[in-house]
Chain A
Amino acid sequence: MNKAVSRKIIRYSVCLLIVVLLVFFLPRCMPGDPVQCLVGEDVYVTQEILDTLTIKLGLDKPLYEQFGIYIRGLLTGDLGYSYTRHQTVADLIWSRVPWTLLLTGVAMIIGYAFGILAGTWSGWMSETKRSKVLTAFGVVVSCIPPYLLGLIFFSVFVYQLGWFPYKGFYETPDLFSVAYHMALPILTLALFVFVRNLIIMRGSVLTEKNQLYPQFAKSLGIPRNKIIYGHVLKNAILPIVTHFAIDFGFILSGALFIEIIFSLNGLGRVMYTAILNLDYPVLSGLFLVIAIMVICANLAADILYGIIDPRVKRGEEE
């Protein structure tokens, strides 16, 4: 275990702690009866349930004991119970997570692959007209919030052209039907990922271009494509990995919005109905799960970075 990695792990743990504390304290610090905030506002439950819940969560006990009960619950996978949906939050979230991960995963693979390749090309050929057009397109698209991108695609391809289905309900897990329903949302999210990486990669290649090694490779007579994709790309890819930390959170949030637009059965839909019903247990659980997903992704990126760039392993950060 080296110093850089252990420092990262401490930071991630603190981050997780902050998220847990936030989820714990928000309902308990709100004015009024905390039990109402833990149940949700727009739901009617009998006094009896409220009383049993008060005892179960220890709301009549001091805060530190409540926290103990809460943490014990979390460790056993108990995220609370949604009285609006009559379902435990954990069940609700776990049944939807695979769909969101499918959307995010596929879109990220497409977006990253094409974004990196196109960005490298665009950075190397930055003087050509085609590259300038591509960059301008990237900048414009990157200024569109993902849900608007989804709305525009929805209105054009679903409403006007009728190429894709209106609703994303796929009850039968048939591969073709899933692909048919997921194609447009994946494309939308992939485009969002694509332009971000295109822009990062382009900038990174532009700085690499001025180094001496590509010129040296050129003078050795190495074919252009091999220089660009074999040597320059490898060096220029580091910022992509660094930015993964910020980007993953954004891509995931973008995925949630896109799911709302296309009525997909993922976490986004859960979040939307939870917001409309002020279903606090679900919102808290979602926030916690999303935060854990983001932290895991960051940890993965750090490990990957150590493999790609050996300087990090030796602790020569910055």
Chain B
Amino acid sequence: MKFDRRYILPLLLIAVLLIAAVFPGVFAPYEAAERDATYQAPSAEHLLGTDNMGKDIFSLLIYGARWTLIIGFSSGILAIIMGTAIGLLAGWRKGIPDEFLMGTTDIVLILPKIPLVIILAAYLGPSPWVLILVLGLLSWESIARVVRSKVIQIRSSNYILAARCLGFSDAKIMVREILPIVFPVIVPKFVLVTAAAMISEASLAFLGLSDPMMVSWGGMISDAFTYSGFLRGMWYWWLPPALCIILGVLAITSLAFIHERGVREVVQL
């Protein structure tokens, strides 16, 4: 298979973010908790100035990559596991399980996600794990749908019939024969769910519903909004994390776009 050159730029961007997330200490000039004079303008010492707590904004930006990516990818993985399992089961076993599972899918689809996450986060307290669990558990429905329709499409094909005639168990057929076929459909969905989780995380952090001990880009924008970063005209406070969110989401979604060759799938965001 020829490598598509359009993958280079998004992959490069994701690599940069990943490196920043894994080794923030190497690139950040200051520790995340280190404090200096507050509200400084950008200078040689503080590339992007300091925030209301006197923390170096540039360093926070680098440390912020970690939680955004962890939350995005973990919810993506959780959603993919649930969606694939449910989709496989619904497609393979017609009748009541299918009806039940697709009914559940419909219900999860309608539930207004952001308000739901907000109320859960408000009651359960701001924790990244609550966020991952809720975002992951609410994003599997689109994956389950594509997996199901793909399974229905291939379940009556001859090689599946052959496998059944040879007496392989259902579980074995699903894992060995169906999963590889379904896999290419799942990958772009995984990418989109991850991007959507990153957007949700940024939105919730903006509302102040993220752990205050956890540096995240959304949280930085929220601080800039609450602690008069706008009135002071400190664009270097909120614009860099905003750009990081946008570029991160764009890089991840564009992987799905290039793969799909049609832009329709972005709707699921």
Interface residues of A (CB under 8 A from B): 7-8, 10-12, 14-15, 18-19, 22-23, 26-27, 30, 37, 135, 138-140, 142-148, 151-152, 154-155, 159, 196, 199-200, 202-204, 206, 239, 243, 245-247, 249-250, 252-253, 256-257, 260-261, 271-272, 275-276, 278, 280, 283-284, 286-287, 290-291, 294-295, 298
CA distance A38 to B235 in the complex (A): 40
Say if the beta carbon of B181 comes within 8 Å of chain A. Answer: no
- Mostly helix, strand, loop or mixed at chain A's interface? helix
Q: Which residues of B contact A203 (CB under 8 A)?
A: 262-265
Please measure, in the bound complex, the distance between the C-alpha atom of A47 and the C-alpha atom of B116, giving whole angstroms: 31
Find out whether the CB atom of B207 lies under 8 angstroms from the CB atom of A143.
no
Give A242's nearest chain B residue, CB to CB: B267
Q: List 17 A-B contacts (CB under 8 A).
A: A18-B107, A27-B123, A135-B263, A143-B246, A145-B202, A148-B221, A148-B242, A148-B246, A200-B264, A202-B263, A245-B109, A249-B111, A249-B112, A253-B112, A287-B116, A291-B112, A298-B110
Q: Complex formed: what's the CA distance from A252 to B135 in Å?
A: 18
B264 touches A199 (CB 8 A): yes
Does B127 interact with chain A (Cβ within 8 Å)?
no
B107→A139 contact, CB < 8 A: no
Whether the pair B112, A199 counts as a contact (CB closer than 8 A) is: no
Q: Knowing that A139-B250, A253-B112 are A-B contacts, what are 14 other residue pairs whose CB atoms are under 8 Å apart, sorted by A's residue number?
A: A139-B254, A139-B257, A142-B266, A143-B195, A143-B249, A144-B245, A145-B245, A151-B225, A253-B114, A257-B203, A257-B206, A271-B118, A284-B119, A291-B111
- The residue in chain B whose Cβ has the minimal distance to the Cβ of A17 is B107
Interface check B42, CB cutoff 8 A: no
* Listed residue (B122, B238, B250) with the most chain A CB atoms within 10 angstroms of its CB: B122
For residue B269, CB closer than 8 A to chain A, the reply is: yes
**Nearest Cβ in chain A — how far from B21, in angstroms?**
19
CB distance from A14 to the nearest CB of B (A): 6
- Our pick among A15, A239, A275, A278 for the contact of B110 (Cβ within 8 Å) is A15
Find chain A residues with CB under 8 A from B38 CB: none
In the assembled complex, how far is the CB of residue A194 from the closest CB belonging to chain B, in whole angstroms?
A: 13
Taking a contact as CB atoms under 8 Å apart, the answer to whether B238 and A151 are in contact is yes
The total of chain B residues at the interface (CB under 8 A) is 46
Cβ contacts under 8 Å, A23 to chain B: 119
Which residues 230-269 of B sit at the A interface, judged by CB distance below 8 A? 230, 233, 235, 238, 242, 245-246, 249-250, 253-254, 257, 262-269
A280 with B123, Cβ < 8 A, contacts A148-B202, A203-B262, A206-B262 known: yes
Give the residues in chain A near B114, CB-CB below 8 Å: 249-250, 253, 256
- Residues of B near A138 (CB, < 8 A) are 263
In this complex, which of B203, B209, B221, B257 has the most chain A Cβ atoms within 10 angstroms of its Cβ?
A: B203
- Specify which chain B residues have a CB less than 8 angstroms from the CB of A247 in the assembled complex: 267
A196, closest chain B residue (CB): B267
A294 to chain B, nearest CB (A): 5
The reply to whether B225 and A253 form a contact with Cβ atoms under 8 Å apart is no
Residue of B at shortest CB range from A122?
A: B263
Q: Is B208 an interface residue, CB under 8 A from the partner? A: yes
| Residues in B neighbouring A260, C-beta threshold 8 A | 207
Q: Give the residues in chain A near B123, CB-CB below 8 Å.
A: 26-27, 30, 37, 280
- Asked if residues B103 and A14 are in contact (CB atoms below 8 Å), the reply is yes
Question: Are A294 and B112 in touch, CB under 8 angstroms?
Answer: yes
- Residue of B whose beta carbon sits closest to that of A148: B242
Asked if B147 is at the interface of the complex by the 8 Å CB criterion, the answer is no
Identity of the chain A residue whose Cβ is nearest the Cβ of B206 in the assembled complex:
A147
Q: Which A residues lie within 8 Å of B120 (CB)?
A: 26
Contact B221 A151 (CB under 8 A): yes
Q: How far is the CA of A262 from the CA of B226 in the complex (A)?
A: 13
Contact B115 A14 (CB under 8 A): no
Bound CA–CA A135/B122 (angstroms): 38
With A199-B266, A203-B262, A204-B264 in contact, do A294 and B110 touch (Cβ < 8 Å)?
Answer: yes
8 Å CB interface, B200-236 against A: 202-203, 206-209, 221, 225, 230, 233, 235
B154 to chain A, nearest CB (A): 16
Q: Provide the bound-state CA to CA distance between A276 and B266, in Å.
A: 33
Which one of A27, A143, A199, A203 has the greatest number of beta carbons of chain B within 10 Å? A143
Q: How far is the CA of A12 from the CA of B103 in the complex (A)?
A: 10
Do B113 and A249 touch across chains, with their CB atoms under 8 A apart? Answer: yes
Chain A residue numbers with a CB within 8 Å of B257 are 139
B109 adjacent to A155 (CB under 8 Å): no
A15-B122 in contact given A139-B253, A143-B249, A143-B253 (Cβ < 8 Å): no
Q: In the assembled complex, how far is the CB of residue A278 from the closest CB belonging to chain B, in whole angstroms? A: 6
Q: Which parts of B120-145 form the interface with A (CB within 8 Å)?
A: 120, 122-123
B191 at the interface (CB under 8 A from A): no
Tell me, yes or no, whether B199 is within 8 Å of chain A by CB: yes
Q: B221 contacts A287, CB within 8 Å?
A: no
Chain A residues with CB under 8 Å of B263's CB are 135, 138-139, 199, 202-203
The 8 A-B pairs at the shortest CB distance, nearest first, are namely A203-B264, A253-B114, A249-B112, A143-B249, A143-B250, A15-B107, A145-B199, A287-B119
